[in-house]
Structure formats: C-alpha cells, structure tokens
Copies of this chain bind each other. A is one copy, B any other.
Amino acid sequence: MTFVLVHGSWTDASFWSKTVAELKRKGHAAYAPEYAGHGSLYKPDVTHEQIVQSVVDYITSKNLKDIVLVGHSFGGSVIQKVAERIPDRIHRLVFFDAFVPLDGQSVADQFPAELQDAFAQLIQASGNNTIPMPYPLFRDGFVNTASDGLAKQIYQSAKPEPAAPLLEKLDLKKFYALNLPKSYLYFTSDTAAPQGDKYGFNPAQSGHLGQFRLITGNGDHMTTAYAQPAYLANKLYEAARD
C-alpha cells in the first residue's frame, strides 16, 4: 500500500516520522509531506487553500497513485479538499481522530463555544493571527496519556498555529458527492475534542462521513505516534485495507 499522511495543527510532518518508518518496515510506501505554512515552511498567514494545494502538488509531483490518504485532526479537512481535487489518485480516505466539517463549516465550528472563545482570545493576543497553544491545554487535550517527559518533548513541535485555516468556512459540496471508501480511526482516550455525542471524534465527527469503517484503538490525540508507532501503523493498516 501507499500511504500519504497529513498531520494536524500544533505540529508538523515530524509527527509522522516514526509511523512512516513502521509502515515502511511492514513493506508499504509511506509519505508525510510538510504542508504550506507549517514546520520548515512556517508562515502565520497561510491559507487553507495553500495547504491543500501543497499536498496536491506533493502527490502529483511524485505521481503517487492508488493512495491511502490519511488525515489527522485538522488534517481531516485537508484530505477532504485534496480528495475533491485528485479523487482518481485515492484508494481510500482514512480519518484519524480527525475533524470532518460539513459543507459550509470550518474546523473551528466543530469545537464547543467555550473553546472557540478561548481561541479567539489567544488569536487576539497573538498579534499575528495565530493560536499559541498553552502547555496545560496541550498536556490535557493532546497528550493526556503521555509521561511528563514525553509530553514536554512532543510540545516542542507546537508552534503558534496559523488561525485562518481553522476558521475558514469550507465549500465541501464536491467532497460529499464523492464515492470514495472511507475509514475512521478513533482512539478512545482522545479528548482533543470533548467526548460524547455532540463533539466527540466518534460518533460526532465520524458520523459526518455517512457510511464508513470504524477502527478503534487505545490512545490519545498525539502520544501514540511517538510512544507506540508500530501500534499506530498497524491500526492505520486495519483502517486502510480493503
């Protein structure tokens, strides 16, 4: 299989490094593109469209075909738009604890009002339309199962997140008309979105997909990619296979 792994917010392509290695060790091809405005390409005023374009360019420039396109967290909205652009190159979409905006919604629309308000204040204070992630929020929301040391290590990659792509209302009519196979990988200790019927990754975000294949696992939002990459690679494989 050929995996293309799209990371989420407050991290960069290094999020996937260990998982890429594990997938390759299992005999798959695996790519984790750095996308516009993030990591070495850091740019506070990047747009959602620029992010999508950079992933599309990556896939077409390498002429990747029949890919399993994986989106984590915010990356869910990225693979929705990439799928609209190059559906013929995609074998299956895998949403991994990912946001799945409905047509006309933003990623931020998926958050409870209190979190949207907290982000608005952080954006205001940033002066450059970014959302710096305070460590306590990161610790409790993204790496709740990690050790103290690993939590702080993972936090090193958390640059202030460009806010515009999170806030942009997305036209997803074409995505919701596509007929691509879809899986949702849900880790049951993930509280980056509040658990439950209203905001939970599963069943709320996953439910936006209509028909999908659910795979569940133990883990939180980010820790598994660092602490148990072989487990994550195996779960991605279970989500990806026919």
Contact with B along A170-198 (1 / 0, CB 8 A): 00000000000100000011010011111
Chain A 126-170 residues near chain B, CB threshold 8 A: 136-137, 139-140, 144-145, 147-148
What distance in Å separates the Cβ of A127 from its nearest Cβ neighbour in chain B?
25
- Chain B residues with CB under 8 Å of A195's CB are 202-203, 214
Q: Which residue of B lies closest to A196 (CB)?
A: B203
Asked if A211 contacts B145 (CB within 8 A), the reply is no
Interface flag for A65 (CB, 8 Å): no
Query: A224–B174 Cα gap in the complex (Å)?
Result: 37
What distance in Å separates the Cβ of A199 from its nearest Cβ neighbour in chain B?
9
Asked if B203 contacts A189 (CB within 8 A), the reply is no
Q: Which residue of B lies closest to A188 (CB)?
A: B216
- Chain B residues with CB under 8 Å of A89's CB are none
Q: Which residue of B lies closest to A141 (CB)?
A: B211
Asked if B139 contacts A213 (CB within 8 A), the reply is yes
- Chain B residues with CB under 8 Å of A215's CB are 144-145, 189
* 8 Å CB contact of A213 from B144, B188, B197, B214: B144
By size class, the interface of chain A is 20 to 34
Asked if B238 contacts A145 (CB within 8 A), the reply is yes
- Chain B residues with CB under 8 Å of A197's CB are 196-198
Q: Which residue of B lies closest to A200 (CB)?
A: B203
Query: A207–B194 Cα gap in the complex (Å)?
Result: 8
Query: A194–B113 Cα gap in the complex (Å)?
Result: 26
- Chain B residues with CB under 8 Å of A137's CB are 211
Asked if A148 contacts B242 (CB within 8 A), the reply is yes
Contact with B along A8-51 (1 / 0, CB 8 A): 00000000000000000000000000000000000000000000
Contact with B along A105-140 (1 / 0, CB 8 A): 000000000000000000000000000000011011
- Chain B residues with CB under 8 Å of A62's CB are none
- Chain B residues with CB under 8 Å of A136's CB are 181, 211
Q: Which residue of B lies closest to A219 (CB)?
A: B216
* 8 Å CB contact of A140 from B196, B204, B207, B213: B213
What distance in Å separates the Cβ of A112 from its nearest Cβ neighbour in chain B?
10
Query: A136–B92 Cα gap in the complex (Å)?
Result: 13
A-B contact pairs, 5 of them (CB 8 A): A137-B211, A139-B213, A140-B212, A195-B202, A196-B207
